[in-house]
Each structure stands twice: as C-alpha cells, then as structure tokens.
Structure 1
C-alpha cells in the first residue's frame, strides 16, 4: 500500500518547493504503478494451481516468445491473421471455464480478440480417445455485443472482463498483470472496428 510522500518545510524557496513537489509527485505516481503491477502479479499467480507450476509456465512462455521472435509472431503462428491485421496488445491472463481457470495469452488485434492456453490440455474425442490440444478462443470484434467490467463482491481486488457476443456466448477473463490496460485495449479495438 503506498503512502503519499509529503513535504512541510517553511524555510524553502518557492522554486525549491515546486521542484521538490514535482519530484515527490512523480515518485508517488511510480509507487502507485508499482503497487498496481505487484497486485496484478499476485492475482495472476494466485489463480494458478501451484506457484511452482505458474513460474515454470511463465519461464516456458518467456523462452517461447524469445525463440519465436515476439508476441506478434506467436499471434500469427497461432491464429489465422489477414494481411495487414495489426496486433494491438497481448496480455497474460486466465480464461474461466467449467473445468476452472486456464492460463494463457489474450491477443487483441484490429480484427479480433483471441485467447490461447499456455499449455496443451487433455481432451477426449467423440470415440473416447484422449489427445492434447491448445485451448483457443477467437472472437471477431464485429461479433462482440459488449464488454463488461466485473469484480468479486467479497474480494474487490479480483477483477474480471466479460465479453458478451451477439449470439449470447460469454467469455470471462481474469488474473491480468495489468487489468486496466487490457480493458482499455479491448474497448479501443471495439470502438475502431
């Protein structure tokens, strides 16, 4: 929790006070951003099954991003992307499913909101055979009816983004490292679609 820095020194000149208050204001903003990031990391890690598994997944994801050459290239490998489609933002988060939250990446482009799990999950085929696949969701921006902000009533620090489609499917995303940036990016993408 940040505590605002204050200065009460009557012997300082006006110029010195002004510079000092400017520096203190900048420091307060930095502390607030650091607090928000720390909170985002704490919420993101909390949703994982075990801290060690979450850290292992993040390291694996980081290595993959470096190996492939960035988030834009990962986005283009995972999803069909039309020529000229621009990736606006990529965020680590979780998608809520009936089986529980699944960690992955949320991609926001000029055409779609897309999610892909960090790791493959076990799925059974119609014949009962088990196989592994990545959990993917693609929501064209033109199919989004609205985006809702939500929070846990008992724990207001746990924030969610609900995307409701025109065919009444809803997708819940949570555990963002930076909730406000992700929400703003989705809202901006929709407004420009």
Structure 2
C-alpha cells in the first residue's frame, strides 16, 4: 500500500485540488503569467527571482557530489529516481531550480531520449490520510511527446539570470532557473525534442 501511495504522490504530472475558477486566479509571485503562445525567441521576465547564498550553494554542491559518488554516477542517480524504459538514454543532467508556488526548489534536471524530468535535491515531508509522515522527493516527469514547446527567458534587470520554460500539450508550464551550463542544456533539450 505504501508503494502505491508514494507512486500517486510523486508521479510526474501536477495534481491540483481546486476549481477551475481558483486555477485561473494568479496565486503566486514567482511564476510569470501563463504561456499564451509558444515561441522560439527569447523573452524576458521581471517576476522571477533567484536568491543565492554562497555557503548554502557550496554545501549543496558538496552534498550533491557525495550523493552522485554514493550511487555510482549521474546516470545511476537518474535510474534511481525515475523508471527508465529499455533503450532510453540519458542525454544531459544539470543542477537547477524548479519554480513552484512555494518558491524555487533545488534539484536535478534530466533530459533523456524519452522525457524531461526533475527531482528535488532534498526529500520533503508528506502526511498520508492516516496521519503517517513520509519523506519523498518532489518529482516531475514530462514525456517528450507531450511537450508543446520550450522557450528561453531572462530577467530584464539581470540578463545573466536565464530561465527555461517548458509548455505541455495540456498547457501546464514549468519554469527551470539557475540551470548550470544553460546554453548546452537548452541545446540538448531542443535535440531531444527534435528526435522525439
């Protein structure tokens, strides 16, 4: 029972418990407005901010390196967090933040021949219906065939802060920021989409 509960909590599409009217109201200051159209050109955003604390960044990188060494490499980290179909290859993995309604969430962005996936760096506390606490990682898995488009964006006031927006066919948009090796990661994403 615990496995199926975990599966329901972390499978890659966002679960929303709200009415349509509630969803339409702007509820968060971290995300730009909903994607009205998909475009390949660079657009800008004033609304997203990513604050970095040097000591936290160093500790996070040390923790990340230790975890990668423990499981035997980045590809094994990917296989540990996500189901991998036969023949699927990991193309690129990068540290980044996912913009959520609670603020930026640190984690890993994975681009494979099958999907784009995100897994939080740290586990979060979740309570079951019976009141038991579980620790799970926040995960998103977006099949490449369900992606409508990807866009590049940057902060108008700080052009070095760049973002990747992924818009799905059902008009969910995911914002990734603080992506290490941004241009290289975006090229891998475009390559994966062109071959899907």
TM-score under structure 1 length normalisation: 0.71
Q: What is the Cα deviation at residue 47 of structure 1?
A: 3.7
1:158-177 matches, cutoff 5 A: 158-177=161-180
- Per-residue CA shift, 1:75-113, capped at 9, x if unaligned? 111100001110000011110001110111100000000
Secondary structure of the structure 2 residue equivalent to 1:73:
helix
* Structure 1 CA distance for aligned equivalents of residues 191 and 114 of structure 2: 12
Q: Which residue of 2 aligns with 1:83?
A: 86
Q: Which residue of 2 aligns with 1:142?
A: 145
Q: Which residue of 2 aligns with 1:151?
A: 154
* Structure 2 CA distance for aligned equivalents of residues 171 and 116 of structure 1: 13
Matched, 1:94 2:97: yes
1:19-168 matches, cutoff 5 A: 47=50, 50-126=53-129, 130-168=133-171
Q: Comparing both chains, which one has the higher relative contact order based on Cα–Cα distances under 8 Å and sequence gaps of 6 or more?
A: 2
Q: What is the Cα deviation at residue 57 of structure 1?
A: 1.7
Q: What is the Cα deviation at residue 117 of structure 1?
A: 0.7
* Structure 1 CA distance for aligned equivalents of residues 51 and 164 of structure 2: 18
- Give the structure with the higher percent helix: 1
Gaps of 5+ in 1: 1-45
C-alpha RMSD over aligned residues: 1.8
* Structure 1 CA distance for aligned equivalents of residues 102 and 132 of structure 2: 19
Q: Which residue of 1 aligns with 2:22?
A: none
Moved over 4 A (4+): 124-130
- Per-residue CA shift, 1:39-97, capped at 9, x if unaligned? xxxxxxx9466332222121111011111111111111110000111000001111000
* Structure 1 CA distance for aligned equivalents of residues 54 and 127 of structure 2: 28
Secondary structure of the structure 2 residue equivalent to 1:74:
helix
Q: Which residue of 1 aligns with 2:187?
A: 184
* Structure 2 CA distance for aligned equivalents of residues 179 and 76 of structure 1: 23
- Give the structure with the higher percent strand: 2
Q: Is the 8 A contact 1:117 1:135 kept in 2?
A: yes
Secondary structure of the structure 1 residue equivalent to 2:159:
coil
Q: Is the 8 A contact 1:93 1:104 kept in 2?
A: yes
